[in-house]
Amino acid sequence: MRQRFTRILMIGLFLALLPFQSVSAAGTQQEDVIRIAKSYIGVPYKYGGTTPSGFDCSGFILFVFEKVGINLPRVSADQYNAGTKVSKADLQPGDLVFFEKTYNKAGITHSGVYIGNNEFISATSSKGIKIDSLSSTYWGPKYYGATRVITGSPSGEFNDVYTSSPSYTAIATLTKQGVIQGFGDGTFRPDANVTRGQAAAIINRVLNKQPASLNYFSDVPETNRFAKDIAVIKELGIIDGFPDGTFRPNDNMTKAQMAVIVERAFNLQDKAFAAASSHPYSDVGPDYWAHDAIVTMSKIDTTTVFAGDRYYATSQASRSIYTTAIYNAMNVK
């Protein structure tokens, strides 16, 4: 009787573990795809190439996914039809992203792997394997669609934040600390834009200050949910209003504005990160108004979110990028 009970118990434990093992396997595939893809950054472009001696765009995807046991068609147009279509707003690391008219041809002409934070990695004819922004002036207008070939659930606090994301540690850490919050449907929405009001609230959850007054801006009444936070960052000189007396709490924030705000909030300008001779980004010159703050974002980064040779200063800051900037700033010694 005891042996029979033991066998039943062991079978029950085994079955209970099955869903967890399935989720872990999916998470590992996504992490492995991103890791493998990034390991070939700098490999030159080669038309028809499917090996580390040179890749074309679809050949690169074919090679990377074969490494994790997923067989895909050879050409981009067929790869697009290989999985489940997903909207741009629902992209997850490991999804395939596709572009059109990159060679003045109709239909899909380029493909890459989405890696999170509005970025993808692909084999480009100009610089080989590299990371680009989906919102760049070149790729943004050419975006065609996306498909998902890795199935399973993400790991972590939110069902749309994967451990393979460079922002994962920042998001998980600040969530536990109560600095950031998700949504009622279990999502974090990492690629959603951050508004000026939200930016103020997140910073004040770290600073935890009370304002002397709430009456600073004509468009921020005392009943506004961010009124206290906006007043605090105004009094501290972190974010100013506009000449017309407004704060515009619902306006989205650019990555340049984000850099300046984070630098001021954590007094990073006094830590000599932004040396005048240091220009990590080719698209941010020394005369740019937010140059020093942007260089600081690169200098303090421990996540690779701010890696690369372009910063895209005028692009809108996403929730994941802003969270990572705050996380990096909080951990400056």
Write the pLDDT tens digit of every residue in 52-102: 999 999 999 999 999 887 889 999 999 999 888 988 988 888 999 999 999
Residues 197 and 224: beta-carbon distance below 8 Å: yes
- Report if residue 241 sits inside a domain: yes
Same domain, 245 and 124: no
- Please identify, among 120, 148, 176, the residue that sits at the C-terminal boundary of a domain: 148
Is 175 in the same domain as 290? yes
Identify the domain boundary among 89, 113, 148. 148
Which pTM value belongs to this model? 0.59
User: And the tokens for 250?
Assistant: 């619902």
Asked if 66 and 98 count as a contact pair (C-beta separation under 8 A), the reply is no
pLDDT band at 165; cut points 50, 70, 90:
confident
In this structure, what are the phi and psi dihedrals at residue 231, rounded to the nearest 5 degrees?
A: -65, -40
Angle between helices 255-265 and 196-207 (to 10 degrees): 20
Q: What is residue 70's predicted lDDT score, i.e. its pLDDT?
A: 85
Question: Which tokens belong to 160?
Answer: 């749309």
Which of residues 10 and 30 earns the better pLDDT score? 30
- pLDDT, position 189: 87
Give the number of residues written for the chain. Answer: 333
Residue 252 DSSP one-character state? B
The pair of structure tokens assigned to 205 is 């959850």
Q: What is the pLDDT of residue 128?
A: 96
- Same structural domain for residues 22 and 141? yes
State the Cα–Cα distance between residues 280 and 271, nearest whole angstrom.
18
Q: Where are the alpha helices (DSSP H) in 49-93?
A: 57-67, 76-80
How many domains does the chain contain in total? 2
Pairwise CA distance, residues 323 & 182, whole Å = 12
Residue 255 domain-assigned? yes
User: Helix, strand, coil shares of the chain as percentages rounded to 5?
Assistant: 35, 15, 50
- Does some domain include residue 189? yes
> Look-up: residue for tokens 């997923």?
70
Q: Are both 172 and 143 inside the same structural domain?
A: no
Shared domain check, 98 and 43: yes
Domain around 35: 18-148
Distances (CA, A) of 265 to 157, 171, 189, 206, 318: 27, 19, 24, 10, 18
> In this predicted structure, what is the pLDDT of residue 20?
30
**Rounded mean pLDDT of 100-128?**
91
Cα–Cα–Cα angle for 261, 262, 265, rounded to 5 degrees: 85
Task: Kindly report the average pLDDT of the chain as a whole number.
Answer: 86
Task: Please give the average per-residue pLDDT across 139-152, as a whole number.
Answer: 88
As a whole number, mean pLDDT of residues 7-11 equals 40
pLDDT digits (tens, 9 = 90+) for 247-297: 999 999 999 999 999 999 999 987 766 554 567 899 999 999 999 999 999
Instruction: Please tell me the predicted confidence (pLDDT) of residue 268.
Output: 93
